Structure 1
Amino acid sequence: MLSAFGRATLGLILQTHAARLAIMVWRMRRPAPLPALLVAAVFLLCLRLGWAAGRTVWTALLPASPTGIAAGLAAGLAGLAVLELTAALAVTFATAGLQLAYDIGRHRVLAVLALASVAALLVTSWRFAGAQPAGLFDLALPFLATAGLVAMTIWFERAYLKPAYPGFRDFWADIVAARHFLNRAAHAE
């Protein structure tokens, strides 16, 4: 009976959107390391938002809780709820992005990535130019996001538009495989 409970609990955990993101990172790490890093960054952002929500609830409820157990339980539930909601939003955006990429094609996806990279570079440069020395730490996340977007654009061009590149991939097959993976995970297959 205990092993059945354990299997059921593991099955429940694996059906969460946060677990789906983690599984996506694990399965994509070898065939497509850069998109796996992008998904890992999204997963870490979801974890960070869940942690921040739990910490805020803990701070707000701790004075009213004599032992701290109720505050800890509420903080844990709030953190898990925010983690799951942000992960669900990320999976939904990934599904919509895959459908859009399938509809518009690889050349237009590259154009969108290039425009987004240029815009991110301009905004980050503008913010960096007006930053005070003490505020440079606040620019670390936008800088890393911009660097990741530029790296993703370069990888996309090489992987999907340059047949001479050793890691050349079939764009349509990758889109279909990714959509199949997301749908299969949603239907517990």
Structure 2
Amino acid sequence: MPSAIAVIDFETSGISPSLGDRATEVAVVITEQGQVVDRFQSLMNAGVHIPSFITQLTGITNEMVACAPRAEAVMRDAARFVGAVPMVAHNASFDRRFWASELALAGLEAPHAFACTVLLSRRLYPQAPSHKLGVLVDLFRLPRTGQAHRALADAEMAAELLGRIQHDLRTQHGVARPDHGVLMELQRCSRQQLPRFFSTQRAAASETFSSSAL
């Protein structure tokens, strides 16, 4: 699946694996040409206590994860589901840390590159009142696919936002193929570099079109 992207979301017991926090739920949706084509979701039992304020935020209780599969087994399944597909997350630095940490605890490597819809939305939509997922979903009237702060709903909403970003790159900025590599380049651009970035992308698209017309 050369154009596939895996959009991931974790719910966790806290803010960082370096503080001993663990994942309590993971969801991944695979998108192809802006459409969700497959889904993976599971609660996971990492043997840690979920603080009450996290339960209030997510609705995930200690009783729920006590009955869930072991975290290592869930992560092995998630890794098989993703394969070598590049990844996207909203606030990717958070999810990337937990992805790498949980895979390491399961004895697996995490070579995946992560693009971030927070960084991308900051580049494309500086006028947005906030770059939180829910705010952007409402701003663009994207579908709310379930309860916020549950992994599958958040992953699906992030996938909807990704689809909007890719659509706007094609229609407003002349980026013919806004694939994962382009997204990675874009999120590294400063605001001052954006005009040159888009100009280069349009020139590349024009050259490709001219060559194919010969």
TM-score, shorter chain, exceeding 0.5 = no
Length-normalised TM-score, structure 2: 0.22
Say which one has the larger Rg: 1
Length-normalised TM-score, structure 1: 0.25
Report the structure, 1 or 2, having the larger strand content: 2
